[in-house]
Amino acid sequence: MTTTPTTPAAANPLLDFSGLARFDAIRPEHVTPAIDDLLAGTDALVKALEAPMASVTWQNFVEPLENATEKLGRAWSIVGHLNSVVDTPELRAVYNENQPRLVEFWTALGQNLALFEKYKALQAGPEYAGLSAARKKVIDNAVRDFRLSGAELADDQKERFGEIQEKLAALTTRFSENILDATNDFGLLVEDEAELSGLPEDVRQAARAAAEKDGKPGYKFTLHFPSYFPVLQYADQRSLREKIYRANATKASELGAKPEWDNTDNMTQILALRHEEAAMLGFANYAELSLVPKMAQSPQEVIAFLEDLGRRARSYGEKDWTELRAFAREQLGLDTLEAWDTTYASEKLREQRYAFSEQEVKQYFPEHKVVNGLFQLIQRLFGVNISTDSAPVWHPDVKFFRIERDGKLVGQFYLDLYARSGKRGGAWMDDARARRLTGNGIQTPIAYLVCNFTEPATVDGVRKPALFTHDEVITLFHESGHGLHHMLTQVDEVGVSGISGVEWDAVELPSQFMENFCWEWDVLQHLSAHADTGDTLPRALFDKMIAAKNFQSGLQMLRQVEFSLFDMHIHYDMAPGTSVQDVINRVREQVAVVRPPAFNRFQHSFSHIFSGGYAAGYYSYKWAEVLSADAYGAFEEAAAAGGNVVSIETGQRFQREILAVGGSRPALESFKAFRGREPSIDALLRHSGMAA
């Protein structure tokens, strides 16, 4: 393809790297011409770098290659980001048209023997010893990644390897699209308000607004989390809970609304292709390949870690389930506790046991207070200043901020908080631009922080402040931890600055670390203000929240172990002729206390492992939780020694040894530099209420 005359390169906003992305100007028709231009330029540079050189140096080889690939990566990341947050038929079409071209380029680059030989020459050459630790790590990672990309394969195998990458990219994208389409398609219209007994007023208002938007009477519920989850949690009408549970549990499966959105075959093909890819590279299975750049050494080590956690949590999970069933039978008249009853019964038990509801807590967390309180904490811990900034955005609700230290720009971030049609579910942080040293000085990092909270309700034409559940507050803190890891880096090499180059099973350390502050009285005082009175969270309510913090923690731990073991087994030792459903059934027999109904198809929308970066890596959440709980222990120790849990000295040390170094050294070294020892599981068990 060639650049169309209607969109010359100079006028294409995707080719403007002078500042912030021009989200107000980017259109689907800009994508193909921009990718044409960038691929042509990068291909030409690669050809030049393939030529023999008298000597290979950082300046004459790595730097020009990184300059070209960074621009291509940035442009495509903008397209991918828009595809995630404002999906339209036109954007999806152009994304799917260009994605194979990008995959083909990156696959060919990763298999380029001439470039591979130059990286090896640089690694073995005289310049290497004098390079910074970060530059050495970039070179070492590159040599490893060339091997993992099939650079040493025979030419005919390289062709097949490339086909596998393209097919995987198409299948994983389709997997995500099926979930989004099935989610957007579903609508449950309730016309009789009596059926909404138990539902909080703000949930009813949102459902009413959704129905009005469709020009229909009554209340509309969808499969977007802020819509369906409160139904499971609060709706007294059992049949209503069952309808929404069943729709969510079967979406994008053979039991879902439309056969073309069934992910069954996509999963089978993805797993087969991953296994083939691993075999071509000399690994017995995909799990072994996946673990090469991670902290964990082998699938057996991961499985042993997870099974140990499962054993430790088992008795707590059984106790949780026994108590819930007895409560449901005696207090709610539910002799059989079905899957669509458990969230409802759990909320009722929690309210009875701890005398408060999620809805009561929610009134104390309006968006502006939570966001400002989060910023105050970050400013105090890490010695920075956060202020509003201006930038073109993709939706009116998106806000933009800047982080400064001593008056100098450190980083910037977009904050996109609310669920909406055309936006994929979940919460995530993504890299919009990485920190690096350029000829013009330091390029500062930029991040996307994306959530899917309930949008503010509009009542009588007035938009009310959004109210967050405490879980949503925790989610926001989690994503901000990823953002800080990306933005507070002090590393100047793009390949290992921020989250780049960090082992995948350590990348959750800063995010899970930040969650802990959501349980601190001093922190919550600055996060809370009642929606009507403006009062901060009362101490009595906080004490109840703390008492309830580990409510059903045994069941929650077992659920995460179940997902992680399922992920590891389908990528490690799934026997021929076995289905994905067979594997999850087997894992549930081994670890689950609560078994979902036979129609549950959770795996069909398990995008973390089938279309995200967590394939044979979902265990990372628990692995990193050991690290994060132990790291937070240093702040608890500072408080116990007469200081404050928001310890500036400890915060500066965490920033220096964890956040600032990014991927420039192994994560275990960074942890030991901060903590002064190897990580211990004790803090995680204590935080989960499972200490001996």
C-alpha distance from residue 86 to each of 59, 79, 81, 187 (Å): 39, 10, 8, 20
Q: Report residue 242 as tokens.
A: 């069952």
Q: Report residue 48 as tokens.
A: 């030049």
What one-character DSSP code corresponds to residue 366?
Answer: B
Yes or no: say if 632 and 516 are a contact pair by the CB < 8 Å rule.
yes
What one-character DSSP code corresponds to residue 405?
Answer: E
Catalytic residue among 177, 277, 472, 479, which?
A: 479
> Helix, strand, or coil here: 429?
strand
Q: Report residue 345 as tokens.
A: 């019964």
Residue 678 identity:
E
d(CA 77, CA 251): 28
Q: Is 240 exposed, middle or buried (0-12, 13-18, 19+ CB in 10 A)?
A: buried
> Helix, strand, or coil here: 149?
coil
> Is 472 an active-site residue?
no
Q: Report residue 539 as tokens.
A: 């101490």
Residue 628 identity:
S
d(CA 61, CA 474): 44
Report which of 429, 441, 425 is spatially closest to residue 498, judged by C-alpha positions: 429
Task: Read off φ and ψ for residue 386, nearest 5 degrees.
Answer: -115, 130
Q: Report residue 422 as tokens.
A: 């055309």
Alpha-carbon torsion (627, 631, 637, 639), positive or negative: negative
Q: Which residues pair with 405 in a beta bridge?
A: 408
Q: Which residues pair with 443 in a beta bridge?
A: 436
Query: Which residues form the catalytic set?
Result: 479
